[in-house]
């Protein structure tokens, strides 16, 4: 099973709201990722968690706050977003180690609209 | 900074024809990936290329890697309509952590016409 699930599928929020995106995998993967994808553009890496620790933060604004409660779950907490943050947010996971086997599997994404 | 360039960005081809998508990258890397994305959908892993000279084939798609030239190709043979999608190459730019740090090319939007 190479499934990564994400909830919700769609989210509309105001600039003063607080919301969270959720991602789950049961493949035993130890690396999890958040990407942002604007329309007709490639995914852009936001965060990488490796063995439940944040290993990469690609200079993402603090209004995005990741959390990895356990090895199967990854959250992205959203607060005081801007309309330009509207995008498809993709979660991915990979084995982590060994690196030669490290294919990332992507979830279906959450389409976020900020009003 | 790792840069990944794909060309062409748009490709319209007829069913039954062959074509190649090119992916160039700017710094040394030992892993290159090809993904497919259908409109409004997520990314599907197609190939992982791990070494110089690696060649992988699945159906009408064949991918190859030349690490010396920093070039990967995705060759489409006898295209069919179902292959219409956006194809991304992605290069892993990290060596020191577990997991992978992918930089994606801009994508090639492929349309196969009857």
Kind and range of the H or E run holding A76: strand A73-79
The yes-or-no verdict on residue B46 having pLDDT over 60 is yes
The yes-or-no verdict on residue A101 having pLDDT over 70 is no
CB proximity list for B40: less than 8 A, separation 6 or greater: none
- At B1 the pLDDT is 83
d(CA B12, CA B34) in angstroms, rounded, equals 19
The yes-or-no verdict on residue B95 having pLDDT over 70 is no
Greater model confidence, A100 or B107: B107
Q: Which residues of A touch B109 (CB under 8 A)?
A: 40
DSSP-based three-state secondary structure for B28: coil
CA dihedral A10, A104, B58, B72 (to 10 degrees): 110
- At A37 the pLDDT is 97
Nearest to A100 by CA among B63, B92, B26, B70: B92
The yes-or-no verdict on residue B64 having pLDDT over 70 is yes
d(CA B110, CA B72) in angstroms, rounded, equals 17
pLDDT tens digit sequence for A18-75: 999 999 999 999 999 999 999 999 999 999 999 999 988 888 999 999 999 999 999 9
Nearest to B43 by CA among A9, A96, A43, A102: A43
HSE on the CB side for B86, CA within 13 Å? 21
Q: Does A45 touch chain B (CB under 8 A)?
A: yes
Overall average pLDDT of the A11-16 stretch: 92
The yes-or-no verdict on residue A99 having pLDDT over 80 is no
Q: Do A102 and B99 touch (CB under 8 A)?
A: yes
Q: Does B106 touch chain A (CB under 8 A)?
A: yes
- At A4 the pLDDT is 96
Q: Which residues of A touch B100 (CB under 8 A)?
A: 31, 94, 99, 102, 104
Q: Do A94 and B42 touch (CB under 8 A)?
A: no
Q: What is the mean pLDDT of chain B?
A: 92
- At B31 the pLDDT is 87
d(CA A73, CA A77) in angstroms, rounded, equals 13
A40, A48, A107 member nearest B99 (Cβ):
A48
The Cα of B72 is separated from the nearest Cα of chain A by a number of Å equal to 17
Nearest to A66 by CA among A84, A80, A47, A52: A47
- At A102 the pLDDT is 81
Model confidence band, residue B10 (pLDDT cutoffs 50, 70, 90): very high
Nearest to A111 by CA among A77, A74, A86, A79: A86
């Amino acid at each position: 099973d190479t499934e990564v699930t994400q909830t919700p599928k769609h989210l509309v929020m105001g600039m003063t709201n607080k919301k969270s995106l959720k991602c789950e995998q049961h493949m035993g993967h130890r690396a999890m990722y958040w990407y942002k994808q604007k329309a007709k553009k490639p995914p852009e890496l936001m965060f990488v968690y490796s063995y439940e620790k944040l290993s990469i933060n690609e200079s993402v604004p603090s209004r995005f706050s990741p959390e990895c409660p356990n090895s199967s779950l990854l959250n992205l907490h959203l607060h005081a977003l801007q309309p330009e943050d509207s995008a498809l947010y993709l979660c991915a996971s990979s084995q982590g180690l060994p690196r030669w086997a490290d294919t990332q599997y992507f979830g279906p994404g959450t389409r976020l609209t900020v009003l | 900074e790792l840069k990944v360039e794909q060309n062409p960005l748009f490709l319209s081809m007829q069913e039954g024809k062959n074509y190649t998508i090119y992916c160039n990258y700017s710094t040394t890397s030992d892993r290159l990936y090809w993904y497919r994305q259908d409109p409004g959908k997520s990314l599907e892993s197609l190939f992982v290329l791990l070494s110089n000279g690696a060649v992988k084939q699945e159906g009408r798609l064949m991918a190859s890697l030349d690490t010396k030239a920093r070039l990967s190709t995705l060759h489409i043979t006898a295209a069919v309509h179902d292959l219409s999608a956006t194809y991304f190459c992605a290069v892993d730019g990290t060596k020191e952590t577990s997991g992978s740090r992918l930089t994606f090319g801009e994508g090639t939007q492929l349309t196969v016409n009857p």
